Amino acid sequence: MSSWFETYFENVLSIRPEILNSIWETLYMLGISALISGFLGIILGIILVVTERQGILENRKVYDFLERSVNAFRSVPFIIMLTLIAPFTRFIVGTSIGTTAAIVPLVAGTVPFYSRQVQNALLEVDKGVIEAAEAMGSSPLEIIFRVYLKEGLSSIIRVSSVTIINLMGLTAMAGAIGAGGLGNLAVARGYNRFQSDVTLVATIAIMIIVLISQMIGNFLVRKTSH
């Protein structure tokens, strides 16, 4: 068994620490940018829903501004976004290269997508239920926290799990600006140095991470929908 592995995966064996390090870098980028984008995306998604026409805090100006910004940002290809906001990244992190620096463009690339997803998830909440809450004397904040987020929770989890898979794809691309991680490993070592066994292992590692996050997502959706 081990000799078989040695024959076919010799490059992998020789760089074991590097592979482990790449997995860690990917999880780090994924985790931190998911947390930040999750937070921002939910806030923006809520603002989009409540300021919409007939929303509980209808406000055309705010809605139009957000709506257009989200569309504009979503239309920028991520690989361009990486270089486009490099000066901004340098301003915030101090450098535009490396794993931590990659978090800035990752967040910038995910937030517009995720806030749109959250908006759609919250729009699934029955308008009648919102009306009933208003009729019971709930304030807008109460409606947001006790109705929208509570009733829309399982939809939000569903779109979050989709977004995380999406984000995983972006972290691989961020490897292009020296962000490290599994994507970088697969391209810089596996592809460029013709070590296809490294590419294969990196791919499998990515698939496993995606699979686990999907399983957690599905489990939570089932737990929260009645």
Partner 1 sequence: MIELRNVDVTFQDGKQTVKAVRDVSLKVEKGDIYGIVGYSGAGKSTLVRTINLLQRPTSGSVIVGAQELSALPAKSLRTARKKIGMIFQYFNLMRARTVAGNIAYPLRKSGLSKKEINDKVDDLLELVGLVDKKHTYPSQLSGGQKQRVAIARALANDPEVLLCDEATSALDPKTTSSILELLKRLNKKLSLTIVIITHEMQVVKEICNKVAVMDDGEVVEQGDLVSLFTSPKEALTHEFIDTATHLDQALEKLRKHPTLLDLSVDDVLANITYVGVSTGTPLIASLYAQFGVTTNILYGNVEILQQTPVGNLIVVFSGEKRQREKAVSYLESNNIVVNQIQNTQTIVPIKQEKIS
Residues near partner 1, by CB under 8 A: 126, 128-129, 131-139, 142, 146-147, 150-151, 153-154, 224, 226
Residue 89 near residue 101 (C-beta atoms within 8 A): yes
Closest CB 226 distance from partner 1, rounded Å: 4
Closest CB 38 distance from partner 1, rounded Å: 20
Q: Which of 55, 196, 202, 212 is nearest to 127 (CA)?
A: 55
Closest CB 142 distance from partner 1, rounded Å: 8
Nearer to partner 1, 145 or 194 (CB): 145
Q: Which distant-in-sequence residues (6+ apart) come within 8 Å of 221 by Cβ?
A: 154, 157, 158, 161
Closest CB 154 distance from partner 1, rounded Å: 8
Nearer to partner 1, 16 or 226 (CB): 226
To the nearest 10 degrees (0 to 180), the angle between helices 60-74 and 99-123 is 130
CA distance 33 to 39: 10
Nearer to partner 1, 56 or 198 (CB): 56
Nearer to partner 1, 27 or 149 (CB): 149
Residue 22 near residue 95 (C-beta atoms within 8 A): no
CA distance 21 to 32: 16
Q: Which of 160, 88, 89 is nearest to 121 (CA)?
A: 160
Nearer to partner 1, 10 or 64 (CB): 64
Nearer to partner 1, 51 or 110 (CB): 51
Closest CB 170 distance from partner 1, rounded Å: 31
Closest CB 151 distance from partner 1, rounded Å: 5
CA distance 109 to 197: 30
**Residue 220's Cα: distance from chain center in Å?**
17
Tokens of 16: 């074991």
CA distance 51 to 61: 9
